[in-house]
Structure 1
């Protein structure tokens, strides 16, 4: 099926992503997202007063996050627009896109902002009171660190899910490292010609504001914390888990940043598009959950569900982007779908530029759109796994708008 909602071409943006405890570590993620959105809307001459809906995607709590999307929309100059806050770990970006599209499909909105942001750095340390505890003492949680390392349903870490999949599909360390080198080679294409690909949706050089947003604290040339691997360097790494296969080189790194997409009715999409001839349509979504502690393979059934809703097979897809916290994600997807692993994730992926959770999927969809435009249009697929052994996927179509 084709959803009514479209993404106006060029009406999206992403910050560079910064390594954990790097240049963006002190910025309140929601306030920072509003700061960036306000500037990017001004660059596109889009009045904030046009929005009648907003959805905020975030997975790491920040101060005052209770006020969610209405707070963010107010900060960008759109106090007339409300909406929900959504949290679905690394599937948050696709979930927000579907939420915005559904609101338009239902006739409840005409122009929506899907804003996603997270800061894994300096994550909150939460205390849960327990009057029934010994002496009235409660329990504490380090939101980021403990949830990375422990799924309360399976009692397994995310790394353990990658090892389970690697064992089932007989994926050794050498094969994982081959994919690492290919993904870094693809990301290098995004940096070519003075970051020409990134500059299609990212303002570079990027001025990092101070925490009060009154001055510039630093300038980022592009993504921060990207590793440059060599075959020799990867070969020297040992698996992180005893008896395992996944090394630090074969997995992503935590990061900070934000990314936004505008979703609109066809008429408003034509009006706002950087090129009115280019149409970006939403064709299908998918959500799936696999057996406990096998998270990386969830991208496969989610993608199949999205393709089924779009009414096409994988053979019709010109470009595929995957959330790949581990290289085993890409290997399993290629084996299960018959796609060529070397052709997945052109221009980069979360394996290379990092893992800020909520905005990761949004940036991936943005890059997918731009890749399809460069290649003359066609179907694109993004699928990303998430905590709880789930995944969400979306199929888009970039084509020429009828006269």
Structure 2
């Protein structure tokens, strides 16, 4: 029986998604091509073997339009015979890319496939496709859901209220995320997963970018409590306890155990269970809760069997609500920091989380890891990985 294993996973450091951010001068196709080339070099992969490049991207317009996955392969200098496809499952796009890649490998449609994603939010702003072409829901969806908010910040406020999450609790979660990320940087935990990128700064000087740009040190509850709550008057969600707008890309090499052995590759992890779930599209961000339950049910594992969790910190209320609903050990949740500290490059985030997860599992001998992330429209992917 065929399986799906992750041979290696690589990412860029995450840059601030604004003019002057470390990666803001790099076209998203070029950024994607960079991680493809790095992945091939690290694994001694002959690109001729690649059956497909399955690539996540959310804002598929402008520089990220016209199938960024295909152009990434061409930009990497890979043979023209290597196709590419671009996936949009909102913030879970590149996690879904891994699911599609794993399913293709297990079914025999692929032997060797690369999955990953990209988002350059400094060059293609979040919501760019909406502002260009109007509201995408259509009259029937808007009729079904009165006053459809299409505002994730509002959903995050609703979740905080539902789970009784106050401002101080959310701000402390944000401080923990930054502290964990800073500790991971100081201890060199990211070095094995980050491929350096040569960049040119706003002043014209060239340097190598290899450290996540959004991590803040020395924050305090007092400083965070002074930030405005833009989604609700006297609310609890602020810029300080929400994910950062970011640029970044990540890629994973996926094949079967047999093909890996044939090519001299030692896999890191096996895709044990992969599911997707839907939830209401108004609060829209609670999807990781039912997705996790579905993954555990199908896997036959319990929450206590999982040694590390990567739950995307779109907002502090999302990951904390998930933790309270599942009863997961808080110390195992985003042990190297999450999107509030490291950033959230939308279509690249699923692959970034998985890259961080598989390296953390290997470095610490953790048998099972689980990843999940909320997605616009009320969805979530959940993946359980097993260390090989």
TM-score (norm 1): 0.85
- Aligned 8 A contact 1:13 1:260 in 2: yes
Aligned with 1:346 (options 323, 335, 339): 335
Give the structure 2 partner of residue 311 of structure 1. Answer: 300
Conservation of the 8 A alpha-carbon contact between 1:51 and 1:112: yes
Q: Which ranges of structure 2 fall in alignment gaps of 5 or more residues?
A: none
Counterpart for residue 335 of structure 1:
324
Alpha-carbon shift at residue 43 of structure 1 (Å): 3.9
Q: Offset of 1:189 from its aligned partner? A: 2.2
Structure 1 distance, partners of 2:43, 2:205, is 22
Change (3 A) 1:209 1:189: same
The answer to whether the 8 A contact 1:62-1:124 is kept is no
The one of 221, 239, 257 aligned to 1:231: 221
**CA 1:272–1:250 in 2, change beyond 3 Å: closer, same or farther?**
farther
Deviation at 1:383, TM superposition (A): 0.5
2:238 is matched with which residue: 247, 253, 257?
247
Match of 1:320 among 283, 298, 309: 309
| Residue number in structure 1 paired with 2:195 | 203
Cα-to-partner distance string for 1:131-189 (whole Å, 9 max, x where unaligned): xxxxxxxxx81589x99xxx976224110000111111111101111111211121122
Matched positions, count? 373
Match among 9, 14, 19 for residue 12 of structure 1: 9
C-alpha RMSD of the superposition:
2.8
The answer for unaligned runs of 5 or more in structure 1 is 129-139
Q: Note if contact 1:279-1:398 (Cα within 8 Å) is conserved in structure 2.
A: yes
Change (3 A) 1:269 1:27: same
Deviates more, 1:217-226 or 1:319-328: 217-226
Normalized against structure 2, the TM-score is what?
0.88
With 355-364 and 21-30 compared, the bigger mean Cα shift is at 21-30
Q: Secondary structure at the match of 2:191?
A: helix
Q: Distance in 1 between matches of 2:100 and 2:216?
A: 34
Per-residue CA deviations over 1:181-214 (Å, capped at 9, x if unaligned) read 2111211221124xx211111134x32269xxxx
Q: Where do residues 118-137 of structure 1 align in structure 2 (5 Å cutoff)?
A: 118-123=119-124
Task: Give 1:67 deviation, angstroms.
Answer: 4.1
Stretch deviating more after TM superposition (152-161 or 52-61): 152-161
Secondary structure of 2:325's counterpart equals helix
CA distance in 2, matches of 1:124, 1:38: 26
Partner of 1:392: 381
Q: Residue 299 of structure 1: CA displacement?
A: 0.8
| 1:380/1:273 CA distance change after superposition, 3 Å | farther
Q: Which deviates more, 376-385 or 34-43?
A: 34-43
Change (3 A) 1:126 1:388: closer
Task: List per-residue Cα deviations over 1:37-89 (Å, max 9, x = no partner).
Answer: 22442243222122122212111224473244333223321322224211111
The offset of 1:221, in angstroms, is 4.2
Shift of 1:312: 1.2
Deviations 1:208-234 (A, max 9, x none): 269xxxx98443240113333222212
